[in-house]
Structure 1
C-alpha cells in the first residue's frame, strides 16, 4: 500500500481512519467539532498540508452522500447570500495563501466562536441574545470561505450567522450541507493550482470512501431523530469545544513560531 498511497505505516492508516470517521459523523450533521478534529488528528502522523490535501477529496465524497441524505431540507434565503460571499473568501485566501498564518486564523475563528456562545448564554446581561440579520451573511460567508480554505475551519462563521435564525434542525443541517458542498467543490481548483494533489493523495482518499459513506449516514440518522430542544444546546456545546480547540491551537502556533 505504501507504493501507491501516502500510508507508509499502519499507524498512518489507522489514524486517518479515525479522523475520517469523526469527520463523517460531523458531515452527517453531528456537531462541527468532529469536523475540525480531522486535520489535527491526521497531523499527528503526517504534515498538516498533506492531511488537508487528503481530506478535501474525502469531504467532497461525504458531501455527495449528505446532499442525497438531506435533499429537500434547506433555507435558500441563507444560501443565496452566503454562497456568493464564501466565494469571495476563497478567492482572498487563495491570493494570500503564501502569507496567511494558519495559527492566526484559528485564533480569530476560535475567539469569534466563543464570543458568540457567550452572548447566546449571557445575552440577557449584555444586550440580548444574538439575532438573525440577513445582511451580515455577506460578512460571515466571506469569513467562512476564507477560514475554510486556509484552516478547514469554516463551521464557526457559518454557525454565527445561521444559528440565530433558529431553523428546524433538519433545515439547518440541510442548509449547511449545501453550503459546504459548494464551498468544498470550489476549493478544488485553487488547491490543485497550489500543487496539493498528486496521484498518491487521490488514491489514499479513494480507499476511505466506504467509511465516509457509512459514518455520514450514521450522523444523519442521529440528527433526524433529535428534537430542537436537544439539538441547539448540543450544537452550542460543540461550538464551545471548537472555539477552545481553535484558540489553543492558534496560541500554540503563534507562541511556538
Structure 2
C-alpha cells in the first residue's frame, strides 16, 4: 500500500477538480448532456498538464465505455457507426502524428471556436422540419475531427455532435451510437498513449483512486436519459456544447 501511495497524486486541489471532471465525463458517456464530457480534461488541467490529464482519464473512459455500451447495446444505429467509425479511427492516427506538433491550447481554441460556430448556425439559421440530413462527406470529415480532438484532449464530442444532432435521433439511439463510437475510438488510444510515454505508474494509480466516480456518473446519466423528454434532452446537449466551446476557446486564447 505504501508503494502505491508513493506514486499517487496527493494534491487536494487536484481531486477538487478531478472528481467533478470524472462525474461530468460519466454523464456525457451515458449520452445525457453529451458535450459536457469535453470539459473534463480542461477542468483537470487547472492543476496538472493536459497530456497528464488525458492519460489519467483514459482508464476511467475504458470503464465508462463498457458501462455505456452495456446499457445501450440494443439501440445502436449500426449504419451510422459504419459511416463514422472508420473516419474516427483515422482521426486518432492524425492525433498521434500531430501530438508533439500542435499544442493542446491550439487544439482547444480550434475545437471551441468550431463548437460555438455550429451553435450560432443552429440558433440563427435553424433547420426546417423537412430539411434533408447533412451530407455523408460532412459526417466523415467531422468524425475525423472528432477522433483527432478525442486523442489530444478527450474532446471528441463537439465535432461529431455537429453531424449527429441534426439527424434528430431519439435520445436512446443517440446515446447508444455515441457510446459505441467513442468506446472504439478510446480503445484505439492505448498503444499510442503508451508509445508517447503517457501510460506510467503515477497516472494509472491516480486513475485507480478516481475509479469509483466513473460508474457513478454513467449510472446517473443513464437514468436521466430514460426520464427526460426529447426536447429537453437536446437543450441540455446544446448547453453542454456551449459551455464546452466557451471553456475550450478561452483556454486556447489565453
Q: TM-score, normalised to structure 2's length?
A: 0.91
Are 1:75 and 2:77 an aligned pair? yes
Once the two structures are superposed, what CA deviation does each residue of 1:94-137 show, in whole Å capped at 9, x if it has no partner?
11211112222222212221121122122159xx9784222322
Alpha-carbon distance between aligned partners in 2 of 1:135 and 1:30, rounded to the nearest angstrom: 27
**Which residue among 160, 168, 171 is the counterpart of 1:169?**
171
Conserved? CA contact 1:120–1:129, under 8 Å:
no
Could you say which residue in structure 2 is the equivalent of 1:110? Answer: 112
Alpha-carbon distance between aligned partners in 2 of 1:80 and 1:137, rounded to the nearest angstrom: 11
RMSD (CA atoms): 2.2
Deviation for aligned residue 1:178: 0.5
**Which protein, 1 or 2, shows the higher relative CO under an 8 Å CA cutoff with sep ≥ 6?**
2
Conserved? CA contact 1:70–1:174, under 8 Å:
yes
Show structure 1 runs of 5+ residues with no match: 253-257
Tell me the matched-pair count.
Answer: 251
Could you say which residue in structure 2 is the equivalent of 1:156? Answer: 158
Q: TM-score, normalised to structure 1's length?
A: 0.90
- Output aligned runs, 1:89-238, within 5 Å: 89-123=91-125, 131-238=133-240
Alpha-carbon distance between aligned partners in 2 of 1:160 and 1:10, rounded to the nearest angstrom: 36
Conserved? CA contact 2:38–2:244, under 8 Å:
yes
Conserved? CA contact 2:35–2:158, under 8 Å:
no
Find runs of 4+ consecutive structure 1 residues off by over 6 angstroms. none
Alpha-carbon distance between aligned partners in 2 of 1:164 and 1:67, rounded to the nearest angstrom: 23
Conserved? CA contact 2:27–2:218, under 8 Å:
yes
Conserved? CA contact 2:50–2:104, under 8 Å:
no
